[in-house]
Amino acid sequence: MSKQYDVAVIGAGAAGMMCAAVAGQRGKSVVLLDHATRLAEKIRISGGGRCNFTNINAGPQNFLSENPHFCKSALSRYTPQDFLGLIRKHHIAWHEKHRGQLFCDDSSEQIIQLLRAECIAGDVSWRMPCKIASLRKEGERFVIATDGGDVVARNVVVATGGLSIPKIGATDLGYRIAKQFDLQIVEPRPGLVPLTFDGPSWQPFTPLAGISLEVDVSTGTGKGKGAKRGYFREDLLFTHRGLSGPAILQISSYWTPGTPIMLDLLPEMDVAEELIAAKTTHKKQLGNILAQWMPSRLADGLLVANGFAPDARLPDMADAKLRKLGDAINRWAIVPTGTEGYKKAEVTLGGVDTRELSQQSMMANKVPGLYFIGETVDVTGWLGGYNFQWAWASGYAAGSNV
- Cα 299 to chain centroid distance, Å, stands at 32
CB of 80 to ligand FDA, least distance (A): 11
Q: How far is the CB of 374 from ligand FDA (least distance, A)?
A: 2
Phi, psi of 391 (to 5 degrees): -60, -45
- Can you spell out the DSSP letters for 222-252? -SSTT-EEEEEEEEEEE-SSEEESHHHHHHH
Q: Which is nearer to ligand FDA, 129 or 307 (CB)?
A: 129
- Name the minimum Å distance from CB 165 to ligand FDA: 5
Q: Please state, in angstroms and as integers, the Cα–Cα distance from residue 250 to each residue in 14, 258, 335, following that order.
A: 21, 18, 16
Per this entry, what is the length of the chain? Answer: 402
Measured between its terminal Cα atoms, the distance across the chain in Å is 23
Instruction: State the nearest-atom distance from the C-beta of 118 to ligand FDA, in Å.
Output: 14
CA distances from 304 to 16, 211, 243, 290, 340 (A): 52, 16, 18, 13, 27
Give the H/E segment covering residue 277. helix 271-281
Three-state secondary structure call for residue 212: strand
Q: Which is nearer to ligand FDA, 169 or 242 (CB)?
A: 169
Burial (Cβ within 10 Å: 0-12, 13-18, ≥19) of residue 218? middle
The least CB distance from residue 107 to ligand FDA, in Å, is: 13
For residue 243, list its beta bridge partners. 195, 238
Half-sphere exposure of 87 (CA within 13 A, CB side): 24
Nearer to ligand FDA among residue 28 and residue 127 (C-beta): 127
The residue nearest ligand FDA at its CB is 13
Shortest distance in whole angstroms from residue 199 CB to ligand FDA: 28
Q: Kindly state the smallest distance separating residue 37's Cβ from ligand FDA, in Å.
A: 9
State residue 228 phi and psi, 5-degree precision: -120, 105
In the complex with ligand FDA, the residue whose CB is nearer, 159 or 398, is: 159
Contact set with ligand FDA (CB under 6 A): 10-16, 34-36, 40, 42, 45-47, 51-52, 132, 159-161, 164-165, 169, 171, 173, 346-347, 374-375, 385-388, 391
- Among residues 161 and 287, whose Cβ is nearest to ligand FDA? 161
Looking at beta carbons only, is 90 or 321 nearer to ligand FDA?
90
Q: Which is nearer to ligand FDA, 242 or 374 (CB)?
A: 374
